[in-house]
Amino acid sequence: MKTFNYHSAKDVKEASKLASSNSAFLAGGMTTIPSMKLGLASYKDIIDIKRIKKLSGIKVSGKTVTIGATTKHSEVASSKDVKKAIPSLAALAEGIGDPQVRNRGTIGGSIANNDPAADYPSACIALNATIHTNNRSIDAEKFFRGMFETCLKSTEVIESIEFSIPQKSSYQKLPNPASRYAIVGVYVAQHKTGINVGVTGAKSCVYNDKDLAGALTKNFSSSVIDSVKISSSGMNSDIHASSDYRANMVKAFAKKAVDAC
């Protein structure tokens, strides 16, 4: 690991001020620290944001659940409020990695990192999330840009993520047997305004599968999914799963999600 300057920011303003194109915020550190140790990344400044109280916590209003950026996966998984309002979101958090990762990793770090196999991005898409930063509010559909890419500026700090409470929803994932990230994860959510199918793991970036959503809008049942064609082109392929398998698993897990709704 290369040496770096460590800062502990007392508030969001300070964190943002310290940030540059050669810095990283330290939330759970579950991505940043391993990549620094492996020599895949190095930064001049590491800006710890865990002491900023305002960034952590869970609030439920009538229609939305708002989760602070540095809220840990384990906190979301065990939150009575989340379990009541959006049980599928608590279940998603419970299925991330392993207990050690869940006890440190944060929702803000997860979506800022936008790993193509991460779980939370699919929830953002399916649950019409709004990502609140220190200077704007961004729709999830616009937030995720590509592989490990978001529309965040380097000095921009995610403060919270606001999810719409759906009528019903379920997240089902085929975990990578080694890492437990998603080989394919499908988040189906039915809102008054329509149905979303957030798919992660399958392609270079999370996406809303409009074909599946369209079919489910006509008939919300798992049998309708058989008739939807899902092409393997553009799907990821690696030693754990070929693109053909992934395409088929999007269907299989969409079915499971619909059945579990």
Ligand X SMILES: Cc1cc2nc3c(=O)[nH]c(=O)nc-3n(C[C@H](O)[C@H](O)[C@H](O)COP(=O)(O)OP(=O)(O)OC[C@H]3O[C@@H](n4cnc5c(N)ncnc54)[C@H](O)[C@@H]3O)c2cc1C
**Which residues sit at the interface with ligand X, rule CB under 6 A?**
24-32, 34, 49, 69, 73, 96-97, 101, 105-106, 108-110, 112-113, 118-120, 152, 157-158, 179-181
Helix (H) or strand (E) holding 36: helix 32-37
Q: Does 40 sit near another protein (CB under 8 A)? A: no
Q: ∠ CA(141), CA(142), CA(144), 5° rounding?
A: 80
From CA 135, how far away is CA 241, in angstroms rounded?
40
Q: Which does 3 bind (CB under 5 to 8 A by kind): ligand X, another protein, none?
A: another protein
- In the complex with another protein, which residue's Cβ is closer, 62 or 239? 239
Would you say 184 and 246 are in contact if contact means Cβ atoms under 8 Å apart?
yes
Beta bridge partners of 114: none
Contacts of another protein in 43-72 (CB under 8 A): none
Q: According to the binding rule CB under 8 A, does residue 4 interact with another protein?
A: no
> What's the helix, strand, coil split of the chain in %, to 5?
35, 25, 40
Q: Which is nearer to another protein, 98 or 218 (CB)?
A: 98
Q: CA dihedral in degrees (30, 33, 34, 37; nearest 10)?
A: -170
Residue 108, contacted partner among ligand X, another protein, none, CB below 5-8 A by kind: ligand X
Please list every residue from 206 through 245 that binds another protein, using CB under 8 A: 239-242, 245
Amino acid symbol at 40: L
Q: x/- string (CB under 8 A) for another protein, residues 148-187?
A: --------------------------x-xxxx-x------
- Least distance (Å) between residue 258 CB and another protein: 13
Q: Tell me which DSSP letter residue 184 carries.
A: E
For residue 109, the partner it binds in another protein, ligand X, none, with Cβ less than 5 to 8 A by kind, is ligand X
Binding partner of residue 249 among another protein, ligand X, none, CB cut-off 5 to 8 Å per kind = another protein
Quote the strand ranges of the chain, DSSP E: 5-8, 23-26, 45-48, 58-60, 64-68, 130-133, 137-139, 144-146, 149-150, 158-164, 168-175, 182-191, 194-200, 207-208
Supply the minimum distance, in Å, between the C-beta of residue 246 and another protein.
9
248 binds another protein (CB under 8 A): yes
Q: If we measure between CA atoms, which residue out of 91, 102, 106, 116 comes closest to residue 169?
A: 91
Interaction site with another protein (CB under 8 A): 1, 3, 38, 174, 176-179, 181, 239-242, 245, 248-249, 252-253, 255
